[in-house]
Structure 1
């Protein structure tokens, strides 16, 4: 279970190692160990195996707190939530008990069916390349989607059975280590492959599950925006003043106070939107219309975070982009992570608008 008594120390460790993690394109070992000890990797481990099986709101709050210190490490914790949810719902008891023997094991995964499987004696022969798999260099297990006879399936294997190509070279979220997993003629036992029928029975992509997965993307983004706001608030508490003005400190400027208020409001609104969506997902049976409406809200929250950080950079000025300034790292992380498909604003608008048009269409 999550040990909240060690949360402050965990966040201190994440902050201390965030810069080096980015330089290495990989989470710091110290940060991963802190999350493991705190129970973060057991957020979506089933309770019968010693985990929390946390709901969407709990996941959102936890990842937001972590993202405030290191968005990339929070992101990896989120992908572990997604992978464990799919594993727990879609695999037989023997596989589930093997994987969750260690409730704090780190799982990575991807739902992109970038591989092919062929049924052979002894299991399924797998070939494929899965890009953008966060945390793959440090995970114990890897889950991935693939096609078998043209049908969507999902496999889970020890991460050591796969090859890693270090292809993650991005402007932001660098420390997620979201490299490419490669399988070449990998024989996977039958029980470690969830068929299309088993996926349908487990239903890991129901609307409520999709909202849980969205929290794993938005939580680190909101946390990163909060981390940026921490840096700006520290600047207002210092003797820093607006350059080329007669003000002696930032708080004397009405314009600076206005921008600070707007940035704070946007960050708070993003968090409140996220938590409201999470609570609805946890307490209600969601329909297709609900799913469209809630994804629209989540996309708005992501845009609020981007807008807030832009105002913070206006307040800080060009020095905020110095490589040694934490603000530019949060800015890059928000810019990249808020454009995850779960938070895509134009597709969310398209889906929401399509539903509205269908609702108001004339009846025959």
Structure 2
């Protein structure tokens, strides 16, 4: 448990007041089942509302999940890549959308920490929910009292419930970042998707927004180091892997229920050698994806990655995402048409995994392309 404590850091103030006994990580691990139960119980509500249910927001905030990447000196965790990956996977097993919003908060806070001094009031509350986008969807014009910003940022997960947004902006043609209250932006509800509906990944809009100079900073190469890019990829893969684990949980419960394969002489699913084989194959794919994720997360935490490491590891993460998709397809076949009932959580996990695994961080053909390019450059070089 000492290693986990080191990974997560000291307790955020709000959580520490609630449970002051043996540290934040011990409490988070003890409450993991309770957190998952609440997320699972409100997953359908989250999806129907296109945003996290209030009950989910409350339990995530209380558990300290929004402080995973708040700097330690500001009362947060500054969690390691491995710790982030493990936690998001655990949350995604109950509700991939909830895990995704937590992951977006990790990314946005990591960017904010890289951009701004930790004494400038950005992290006034360790448990604030951040959202953000690294896509420079807006233009900034310098003014005497700051920068005037106009533009749109699509696909900003959790924006309806976030307090602050870390956003990329082009100023005089140069990539810059701003941190602004979401209340000063307009939300265009453009997120209409088959899966990951509960992430509420709508479009943020700035209309002649004045951003004070102290909340504007130019981008630096260090902000996009290979290690940080692997952290960002983990915030995507973790919820996807968790969704595949959740689909496996549903299928295991189906096997335990005594259900039999229809139109056969079997009295239960486990009597079928084919069903046992497919269950084992699906479980193996999920386990392989998890092993790939954790090996890469640990590598990211222990050394500085090179520019050649990055495409190699991203290709491996893309393979892990494809393992998750393949596993869920097998589980759907085992469940049959009943797996597509809207009351069956399996179809939600299927849709969430299908959408989440196709994020650009997990793009398989670009992963192959970039790794091949890197290897060719080294060979020629």
Are residue 7 (structure 1) and residue 26 (structure 2) matched? no
Offset from partner CA, 1:27-78 (integer Å, 9 cap, x none): 0111011011101110001111111100100000000000000000100000
Are residue 123 (structure 1) and residue 142 (structure 2) matched? no
Are residue 50 (structure 1) and residue 75 (structure 2) matched? yes
What TM-score does the superposition give when structure 2 sets the normalisation length?
0.92
1:342 is matched with which residue?
Answer: 361
Task: Determine which of 72, 81, 84 is the counterpart of 2:97.
Answer: 72
Secondary structure of the 2:135 match is coil
C-alpha deviation, 1:122, in angstroms = 0.5
1:26 is matched with which residue?
Answer: 51
Offset from partner CA, 1:163-199 (integer Å, 9 cap, x none): 0011100000000000010000000000101123xx3
What is the rounded CA distance, in whole Å, between the counterparts of 1:206 and 1:143 in structure 2? 17
Count of residues in correspondence between the two structures: 356
Secondary structure of the 2:223 match is coil
C-alpha deviation, 1:121, in angstroms = 1.1
What is the rounded CA distance, in whole Å, between the counterparts of 1:14 and 1:93 in structure 2? 32
Equivalent pair of 2:31/2:63 in contact (CA under 8 Å): yes
Task: Determine which of 296, 299, 303 is the counterpart of 1:284.
Answer: 303
1:356 is matched with which residue?
Answer: 375
2:5 is matched with which residue?
Answer: none
Unaligned runs of 5+ in 2: 1-10, 12-23
What is the rounded CA distance, in whole Å, between the counterparts of 1:141 and 1:288 in structure 2? 31
Equivalent pair of 2:286/2:327 in contact (CA under 8 Å): yes
2:175 is matched with which residue?
Answer: 152
2:338 is matched with which residue?
Answer: 319
Secondary structure of the 1:52 match is coil
Are residue 170 (structure 1) and residue 189 (structure 2) matched? no
Task: Determine which of 174, 180, 183 is the counterpart of 2:206.
Answer: 183
2:228 is matched with which residue?
Answer: 209
C-alpha deviation, 1:94, in angstroms = 4.2
Are residue 193 (structure 1) and residue 216 (structure 2) matched? yes
Alignment of 1:81-160 (within 5 A): 81-95=106-120, 98-160=121-183
Distance 1:71 1:120, change over 3 A: same
What is the rounded CA distance, in whole Å, between the counterparts of 1:121 and 1:92 in structure 2? 22
Equivalent pair of 1:4/1:38 in contact (CA under 8 Å): no
What is the rounded CA distance, in whole Å, between the counterparts of 2:182 and 2:145 in structure 1? 20
Secondary structure of the 2:190 match is coil
Equivalent pair of 2:140/2:171 in contact (CA under 8 Å): yes
Alignment of 1:239-318 (within 5 A): 239-318=258-337
What is the rounded CA distance, in whole Å, between the counterparts of 1:292 and 1:101 in structure 2? 36
Secondary structure of the 1:246 match is coil
What is the rounded CA distance, in whole Å, between the counterparts of 2:102 and 2:123 in structure 1? 16
Deviates more, 1:169-178 or 1:315-324: 315-324
Equivalent pair of 1:217/1:340 in contact (CA under 8 Å): yes
Offset from partner CA, 1:111-161 (integer Å, 9 cap, x none): 000000000010000001111000000001011101000000011101100
Task: Determine which of 88, 105, 108 is the counterpart of 1:63.
Answer: 88
What is the rounded CA distance, in whole Å, between the counterparts of 1:282 and 1:321 in structure 2? 40
Equivalent pair of 1:242/1:250 in contact (CA under 8 Å): yes
What is the rounded CA distance, in whole Å, between the counterparts of 2:118 and 2:47 in structure 1? 38
Unaligned runs of 5+ in 1: none
Equivalent pair of 1:131/1:178 in contact (CA under 8 Å): yes
Equivalent pair of 1:92/1:191 in contact (CA under 8 Å): no
